[in-house]
Structure 1
Amino acid sequence: MATHYINKIGILSLGKIFGALYGIMGLILGAMISLMSLLMGSLMSNEGALAGLMFGVGAIITLPIFYGILGFISGIITALIYNVVAGFAGGLEIELD
C-alpha cells in the first residue's frame, strides 16, 4: 500500500461537487416541505389548499437551486482554504491499494 498526499484541490472541481451535493439535499428538503405544505393545506379551506400547493411547488423548484448555488460557493471557498492550509501542513494523507 502506497501512501499519497493530496496537496491541492481543484477549486472549480470541488465547487461543482459541492453544488451537486447541496442541490440534491435541497431537492430532498424541498420535497419534504412540499409534502408538509400540501398536508397542511388540505386541512384548510380551498384558499389554504391552493396556498399550500403553490408553496410546495415553489419549495421543490427554489430550494435545489438555492442550495446548489450556496454549495458551489462554499466548495470554492473550502478548496481555496484547503489549498492554503495544505501548503503549510503538507496535505491530506491517503492510502491507495
Structure 2
Amino acid sequence: MKKIRANMDSYFDKVDDRWRALPLRKQYKYLLYCFLVYLILTIAVILKVWYDTGKSNHRVVIEHIENPVVKKKESAVLSQDSLLKNKKNRRHERK
C-alpha cells in the first residue's frame, strides 16, 4: 500500500511540475475551457430535467394507508386450514 501511495505521489508531483511549467496564458485557457465544458454540461442537465418534468402530466394519487395488522389477520384466516393445523400440531407434539 505504501508503494502505491508513493507512486501516486510521484505521479501527481510530475503532473504538477508540468502544469507549473506551462505559461500562465495557457493555464488560463485550459481553466477557461474546463469551466466552459462544466457550464455546458450543467446547463444541459438542467434543461433535460426541466423538459422531463414539464412533459409528464402524471398526478400524485393519494390513497389511504392500509393497516398491516389487518393484512395479517386476513392471512391468518388462510392459515387456519385444517391440514396445516394438523401438520403444525404434529410437529410440536410431545413424544
- Verify same fold: TM over 0.5: no
Max Rg structure? 2
TM-score by length of 2: 0.35
TM-score by length of 1: 0.35
Structure with bigger RCO (C-alpha 8 Å, 6+ apart): 1
